[in-house]
Structure 1
Amino acid sequence: MMEHVASYYAASANPHAPYPQLKGAIRCDVCIIGGGFSGLSCALHLVEAGYDVVLLEAFRIGWGASGRNGGQVVNSYSRDIDVIEAHYGQETAAMLGGMMFEGAEIIRQRIDRYAIACDYRPGAIAAALTSKQFSALREKQKLWQRYGHQHLQLLDGEAIRCAIGSERYVGGLLDRQGGHLHPLNLALGEAEAVRRHGGRLFEQSAVTRIEYGQPATVHTAQGCVNASLVIVAGNAYLGDQLEPRLSRLSMPCGSQIVATEPLSSDMALSLLPDNYCVEDCNYLLDYFRLTADNRLLYGGGVVYGAQDPADIEARIRPLMLKTFPQLKKVRIDYRWSGNFLLTLSRMPQFGRLENNVYYLQGDSGHGVTLTHLAGKLIAEALRGDAERFDAFAKLPHMPFFGGRHLQVPFTALGAAYYALRDRLGF
């Protein structure tokens, strides 16, 4: 039986009973493949709307990126709205711009409605390491304000040093409608909400084959689900074989995180006095925040192709100490990695494989908020209003150059170029 990775989140998860393994044949309106945020968001929106939903998870609910990520609630997309407008036109930018703050609001609504204990705290800072990055944040504030987001505060050099106990940053942008949380507990809470609405969830039930048709049949090792509609939401953990039409369009990438021993209240307050989460503005960015028990959780780095590094602490601890040298003697209690799914455009890929088979994938690092929006869009589409879903589905879904064998070296080469630009301050 595959359990959650040995992370801080797994060690501090709310008590939860396992869901059963699928055995035998069952029927439903909608079968969802994947028990992360994408699948859970779809399931919860659909059961609230009265659909009979079955969700199949290969391992445990929140086993993948949804239960391992940095826990940061970050608005917008991996490509901001000005880039979207330049590449896809004003009409598409207007449609997507109207949705780019919606995912975070859905999360807050879920937490409130279902009383999910996941340590949510408001406030997220994008921190600039150079004056050029700070100028870009000033332009981002103006851009987001054009799209109706008024909860932003530009932080100059003095203000950023009051918000972050580090000398690295020249400024920042505080988004009061961003925040941070315990992602595995959010996933577990959403799963319980699905169950309470009558949804059926199965763990240790990896999908082996999809038999397309009307209805479609989704097969596992010990059972099958006959469903009028299927939603494929496996993201970075879908694998290459189940649906090659999806795997060729994206690439799993690994990110690494460490969590320190619990810090004293004075030390924690000296690092992040307002308990905001932070990510820097580099292409290969660092991100960090405090947990509810005053650990510093620090992440960064990208491994293309999603292979786990041999020594996570050796990779991440130097990054942490560059930001907070005062933590030199602090012990690391947890270290883990997890995969997110990268697309060539850095934009999400939503669409239909068949008339009754939908897919959601490729959030490219913005999965916490975007997955929650995606579930709402799927529910709208199934009710007959597909305009917002189709705004994403119409975006070009381009395969990586060189196919599956060359996508890792090509992407790593491009990332090295941008990392050099970060170091040189270009």
Structure 2
Amino acid sequence: MANTAYPASYYAASANPTPSRPALQDDVETDVCVIGAGYTGLSSALFLLENGFKVTVLEAAKVGFGASGRNGGQIVNSYSRDIDVIERSVGPQQAQLLGNMAFEGGRIIRERVAKYQIQCDLKDGGVFAALTDKQMGHLESQKCLWERFGHTQLELLDQRRIREVVACEEYVGGMLDMSGGHIHPLNLALGEAAAVESLGGVIYEQSPAVRIERGASPVVHTPQGKVRAKFIIVAGNAYLGNLVPELAAKSMPCGTQVIATEPLGEELARSLLPQDYCVEDCNYLLDYYRLTGDKRLIFGGGVVYGARDPANIEAIIRPKMLKAFPQLKDVKIDYAWTGNFLLTLSRLPQVGRLGDNIYYSQGCSGHGVTYTHLAGKVLAEALRGQAERFDAFADLPHYPFPGGQLLRTPFAAMGAWYYGLRDKLGF
């Protein structure tokens, strides 16, 4: 059987030591079989184990192989569509429930890091940077919206103030969220996997789920074994493939690209981001960046619809980095990689149940670091019979992409072109 290694990213090169985990080669029984050892699966497993369930996790490659181990590493609150959009769609009662959960994922991450002593370079503080007065107006409205749901660790930044936190001449202002922040994402996943195992959970790597046998006692089949469970949690997101066809029809894998510079040294790094906050701009097709623990700049952006790997990632992202920081023109890029996230048409996560015992969460739409940790808690609550919060997500309306799987990529790319043009024109 093929042994799938991590892609050649900065995160893989700087990952904490982790044990080699075996592939499943037997028939096993468990309370809950979790498909996918990314954040959604690991968070679900941890909450379930803490509540007395027996849990087995199946991972097609290695822990954190997908988006959980390749993302920009930013702790960003709320959802890819904010609470006001949700409220217009589903009404105030359901929106209130979802709004109350919008800031919980970041707290869960910090609780996990503290409780299980996870070494992942956790830093506090995230900045939303406005490139236009219209974007600044949106941030002012967003601050009022978030404060309505009890989130108060926010500060609006005028042009002078944002220069104090990021050395980029492009921005007219911004908003600082001190409950945001950043982490080494792969090391967070590896630490959570170790926590799962410390509580008696079992993780099998190189063990892709190839078939789910549905029924009263569902069975997940891998190439060399199978897991019989009372419940299944499907947490493969953009790397699920067509294992569950009804989930694939309403989502689309998309690629995003990231680069990491050579170490900048303390002085240059501090001149770019004096308080070591992470930053994302307010464009529809946004750029995001932060410093690593060893003072590299990680810079990401761009979307490839349909999850194709670009031929030259550095050629796509380096110009974006230099537009923000022209002072880095002579800095070498040490790593460049891509990874997939799962997009939904509504840009809201899809949560639900198939039959009585197969649960799923997917489609974070580029906003997954915090949401996936919340999702694990919500899924675990549902398996324990506490379904109110699960139902708030499950009742969100979702639709297939226009044109089906054949045409969803060009249609989505056309939409992105339109919004990208709006970004450039300042609309």
TM-score range, shorter chain: over 0.9
Q: Map Cα deviations across residues 10-59 of structure 1 (whole Å, 9 max, x no partner).
A: 00000111211001100000000001001000000001111000000000
2:7 is aligned to 5
What is the alpha-carbon distance in structure 2 between the residues aligned to residue 121 and residue 9 of structure 1? 16
TM-score relative to the length of structure 1: 0.99
3-state SS of the aligned residue for 2:177?
strand
Counterpart Cα distance in 2 of 1:258 and 1:195: 32
Residue in 1 that maps onto 2:414:
413
Cα distance in 2 between the residues matched to 1:239 and 1:419: 28
CA displacement at 1:107 relative to structure 2: 0.3
Q: What residue is the counterpart of 1:269 in the other structure?
A: 270
**Does residue 349 of the first structure (1) align with residue 323 of the second (2)?**
no
Question: 1:128-155 CA distances to partner (integer Å, 9 max, x unpaired)?
Answer: 0001000110111111001100100000
Cα deviation per residue 1:38-88 (whole Å; 9 max; x = unaligned)? 100000000111100000000000000000000000000000011111111
Instruction: Give 1:397 deviation, angstroms.
Output: 1.9
Q: Identify the residue that residue 75 of structure 1 maps to in structure 2.
A: 77
Aligned 1:338-377 pairs, distance under 5 A: 338-377=339-378
Partner residue of 1:391?
Answer: 392
Match of 2:107 among 94, 105, 108: 105
- Once residues 354 and 3 of structure 1 are traced to their aligned partners in structure 2, the CA distance between those partners, rounded to angstroms, is 34
Instruction: Give secondary structure in 2 for the equivalent of 1:98.
Output: helix
Aligned partner of 1:17 among 1, 19, 28: 19
1:124 pairs with 106, 126, 137, which one?
Answer: 126
| Helix, strand or coil at the partner of 1:59 | coil
Secondary structure of 1:404's match?
helix
Counterpart of 1:219 (choices 198, 210, 221) is: 221
1:298 equivalenced with 2:299 (yes/no): yes
Instruction: Give the equivalent residue in structure 1 for 2:45.
Output: 43
**Deviation per CA, 1:93-120, whole angstroms, max 9, x where unpaired?**
1110000000000000000000000000
> Structure 2: which amino acid aligns with 1:99?
M
Q: Distance in 2 between matches of 1:243 and 1:106?
A: 29
| Runs ≥4 residues deviating over 6 A | none
Q: Which residue of 2 aligns with 1:142?
A: 144
Deviations 1:208-248 (CA, angstroms, capped at 9, x unpaired): 100001110100000000000001000000012x1110001
What's the offset of the Cα at 1:392?
Answer: 0.2
Q: Structure 2: how far apart are the matches of 1:80 and 1:249?
A: 20
Report the Cα distance in structure 1 between the residues aligned to 2:406 and 2:367, rounded to whole angstroms.
25
CA distance in 2, matches of 1:300, 1:150: 28
Secondary structure of the residue aligned to 1:418 is: helix
AA aligned opposite 1:343? T
Superimposed CA distance per residue, residues 309-341 of structure 1 (whole angstroms, 9 cap, x where no aligned partner): 000000000000000000000000000000000
Q: Which amino acid aligns with 2:135?
A: Q
Distance 1:86 1:108 in 2: 31
1:405 alignment partner, SS class: helix
Distance 1:395 1:82 in 2: 14
1:249 corresponds in structure 2 to: 250
* Residue 177 (1) aligns with residue 173 (2): no
**Paired residue for 2:283?**
282
How far does residue 264 in structure 1 lie from its aligned partner after superposition?
1.6
Which residue does the alignment assign to 1:423?
A: 424
Structure 1, unaligned runs of 5 or more: none
Name the amino acid aligned to 2:319. P
Q: SS state of the match for residue 358, structure 1?
A: strand
Amino acid at match of 1:19: R
Name the counterpart of 2:203. 201
Distance 1:138 1:396 in 2: 28
Q: Distance in 2 between the 1:305 and 1:8 partners?
A: 24
1:327-363 deviation digits (Å, cap 9, x = unpaired): 0000000000000000000000000111100011000
2:63 aligned with 1:61, yes or no?
yes
1:396 aligns to what SS in structure 2? coil
Distance 2:355 2:87 in 1: 29
The residue type equivalent to 1:420 in the other structure is L
Q: Tell me by how many angstroms 1:382 deviates.
A: 1.1
Distance in 2 between the 1:133 and 1:80 partners? Answer: 15
The partner residue of 1:90 within 75, 78, 92 is: 92
The whole-number CA distance in structure 1 between the counterparts of 2:27 and 2:384 is 26
**Partners in 2 of 1:380 and 1:236 — Cα distance?**
24
The DSSP-based 3-state class of the residue aligned with 1:29 is strand
Of 175, 190, 194 in structure 2, the residue corresponding to residue 192 of structure 1 is: 194
Aligned length: 425
Aligned to 2:330: 329
Q: How does 1:150-161 map to 2 (within 5 A)?
A: 150-161=152-163
SS at match of 2:147: helix
SS of the equivalent of 2:396 reads coil
Q: TM-score, normalised by structure 2?
A: 0.99
Say which SS state the counterpart of residue 190 (structure 2) adopts. Answer: helix
